[in-house]
Amino acid sequence: MNRLKVQKKFWEIILFVFLSLYALTILYPLLLMFLTSLKTTREIFTNPFGLPATFNITSYVKLLTISHYLKYFKNSIVVSLVSLTIIMFSASTASYILAKYDVKGRGALYLFFVAGLIIPIRLGTISIMRMMIGMHINNNLLSVIILSTAVGIPFGVFILTDFIKMIPEELSNAARIDGCTEPGIFRIVILPLLRPALAAVAIVNFIPVWNDFWFPLVLLKDDAVRTVPLATALLFGQYSTNYGLVFAVLSMASIPVIIIYLLFSRQFIKGLSSGALKG
């Protein structure tokens, strides 16, 4: 018995050391990025991995007062939050129909959504540009929201359909007996049970939407509608670059991603555990 306890303790220590090293590989680049944002451009190249000689916050002052980055952050937040809201609502309702109703062509419709995970949307860039110009929404945040939503829905349907299938049908039947309507069953019975899966969909989709550079570059021309990744790329000049400002922007841009993960992490882990225990 004591031998088993010793072996268990040994493997717990090994696991703790491994996870600690893994966490360090994630946290160290974030810390280095923040420390670099406090250095001058000269110090970044002469002492790239050391602590700053003086904590220079000039880049953050310029970021918040002189530049238009607060506007760019606002644009990115609007695009990300609106896209996530539409993705989670559309994917959850579509997944509920695919999982619980035996409608004609259900399998083909599910494969249609899954195909969205396989086919790169960037292959249709020229056609998308023509479509947005024809709809008169190019150079508008709405065009990026539509594209981000279209890219995110297939993954949401892929995750949520299997998750909804795991929910016992007896719960829905009991609600029907109590006189609950079909939309009411979805809202009262299904949605509360979907929170772990919705958290996974939110986290996985938020990062590519927030970091998307390609379609904002193609569709957004005016300074007033630029997003953070697009505006950050324009900081790299032909002859000189303020690297302190670049790293300050990158540090600020990582904050929403960290906040979203902290808000949904518990539900996200719960969703992963539920999937692992399936069957």
pLDDT digits (tens, 9 = 90+) for 233-255: 877 765 567 788 888 888 888 88
Residue 224 DSSP one-character state? G
* Token pair belonging to 35: 């420390």
The average pLDDT across 158-181 equals 86
| Dihedral of the alpha carbons of 171, 177, 183, 187, in degrees to the nearest 10 | -40
Q: How far apart are CA 273 and CA 131, in angstroms?
A: 42
Model confidence over 28-42: pLDDT tens digits?
A: 988 999 999 888 888
Put residue 193 in one of left, alpha, beta given phi > 0 → left and psi -120 to 50 → alpha.
Answer: alpha
Model confidence over 11-31: pLDDT tens digits?
A: 888 989 998 999 899 889 889
Name the burial class of residue 204, with classes exposed (0-12), middle (13-18) and buried (19+) by CB atoms within 10 angstroms of its CB.
middle
Q: How far apart are CA 235 and CA 3, in angstroms?
A: 61
Going from N- to C-terminal start, the domains of the chain cover: 57-276
Give backbone dihedrals phi and psi of 69, rounded to 5 degrees, phi first. Answer: -70, -25
Q: Reduced to 3 states, what is the DSSP secondary structure of residue 132?
A: helix
Q: How far apart are CA 1 and CA 147, in angstroms?
A: 59
Report the candidate in 185, 198, 186 with the shortest Cα–Cα distance to residue 159: 198
pLDDT of residue 153: 93
Q: Do 79 and 142 touch, CB atoms closer than 8 A?
A: no
Half-sphere exposure of 61 (CA within 13 A, CB side): 5
Q: How far apart are CA 227 and CA 239, in angstroms?
A: 24
Which pLDDT band, with edges at 50, 70 and 90, does 196 fall under?
confident
Lowest mean pLDDT segment, chosen from 48-57, 99-108, 269-278: 269-278
Residue type (1 letter), 98: L
Geometric angle at alpha carbon 57, from 54 and 63, rounded to 5°: 155
Report the candidate in 122, 78, 65 with the shortest Cα–Cα distance to residue 225: 78
Q: Do 68 and 85 touch, CB atoms closer than 8 A?
A: no
Does CATH place domain 57-276 in 1.20.120.330?
Answer: no
Q: Is the pLDDT of residue 145 over 90?
A: yes
Entry pTM: 0.82
